[in-house]
């Protein structure tokens, strides 16, 4: 079975550039989550969607970050303009249903902003 | 053991030993708990979950224990193998979002 698919796996870019991270959730899952992982702060929830609708974006660090889910099989996380402090591993996860269910993670995008 | 929000501890065991990884959670209203395993370069992988109406749940070689009185969660791994080496995270939830601890690194030597 296909799991959560993220692309690209690695991204290196210069500060000020726009970065777009992509995620394909598990088919049939209707909740999607974006996380950021750093050594200092661990795993932090940025935003989550239910049935393609953003439910909670309180974890989005600032206006430079935006996320969309145009359909049930695709989501993007965009950073514009990017800054060196945005360097982290970004994970997408999906789950079945909105209540307490296991979230299944992709293998992440390692982002480095120079 | 680990506590949500603190540094990353390390547990070193010999192959074949049983491992116990501990987690103290903070929110007494949490009613769903989950353990993840994360290997280097990969995303967190679901291991086992437990709801607050239970105090023990078993999987294949793993057991999760929940003590709501002291807000403590543990993961027991039987007959630990080198492939179990990874960072293990506990997470808690009140409804739909998970709050993760910082993790415990498990090192298994042959």
Residue A63 CB contacts under 8 Å (≥ 6 apart), including other chains: none
Stronger pLDDT, A76 or B102, i.e. the higher one: A76
Provide mean pLDDT across the span A22-47.
Answer: 95
pLDDT computed for residue B5 by the predictor: 42
Whether A44 shows a pLDDT value over 80: the answer reads yes
pLDDT computed for residue B3 by the predictor: 41
DSSP B16-58: TS-EEEEEE---TT--EEEEEEE-TTS--EEEEEEETT-SEEE
Q: Do A42 and B97 touch (CB under 8 A)?
A: no
Q: What is d(CA A74, CA A27) in angstroms, rounded to the nearest whole number?
A: 10
Q: Do B42 and A107 touch (CB under 8 A)?
A: yes
Dihedral in degrees, nearest 10, Cα atoms B103, A66, A63, B27: -30
* Among B42, B95, B102, beta carbon nearest to A99: B95
Q: Are B37 and B23 spatial neighbours (Cβ–Cβ below 8 Å)?
A: no
Mean pLDDT of chain B: 91
pLDDT in tens, B7-48: 679 999 999 999 999 999 988 889 999 999 999 999 999 999
Q: Which of A59-63, B4-8, B76-80, B101-105 has the lowest mean pLDDT?
A: B4-8
Distance from CA of B28 to the nearest CA of A (A): 16
pLDDT computed for residue A105 by the predictor: 97
Provide mean pLDDT across the span B81-109.
Answer: 92
Q: What is d(CA A52, CA A77) in angstroms, rounded to the nearest whole number?
A: 14
pLDDT in tens, A15-32: 999 999 999 999 999 999
pLDDT computed for residue B1 by the predictor: 40
pLDDT in tens, A72-105: 999 999 999 999 999 999 999 999 976 688 999 9
């Amino acid at each position: 079975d296909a799991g959560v698919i993220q692309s690209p796996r690695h991204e290196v870019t210069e500060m000020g550039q726009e970065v777009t991270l992509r995620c394909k959730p598990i088919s049939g899952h209707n909740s999607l989550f974006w996380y950021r992982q750093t050594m200092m702060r661990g795993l932090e929830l940025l935003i989550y969607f239910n049935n393609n609708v953003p439910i909670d974006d309180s974890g989005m660090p600032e206006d430079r970050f935006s996320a969309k889910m145009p359909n049930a099989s695709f989501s993007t996380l965009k950073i514009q303009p990017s800054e060196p402090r945005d360097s982290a591993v970004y994970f997408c996860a999906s789950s079945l249903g909105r209540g307490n269910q296991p979230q299944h993670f992709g293998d992440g995008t390692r982002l480095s902003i120079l | 053991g680990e506590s949500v929000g603190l540094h990353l501890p390390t547990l070193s065991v010999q192959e074949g030993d049983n491992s116990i990884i501990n987690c103290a959670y903070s929110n007494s209203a949490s009613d769903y708990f989950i353990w993840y395993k994360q290997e280097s370069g990969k995303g967190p992988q679901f291991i086992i979950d437990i709801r607050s109406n239970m105090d023990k749940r078993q999987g294949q070689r793993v057991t999760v224990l929940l003590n709501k009185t002291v807000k403590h969660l543990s993961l027991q791994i039987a007959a630990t193998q080198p492939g179990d080496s990874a960072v293990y995270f506990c997470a808690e939830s009140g409804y739909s979002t998970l709050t993760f601890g910082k993790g415990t690194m498990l090192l298994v030597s042959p």
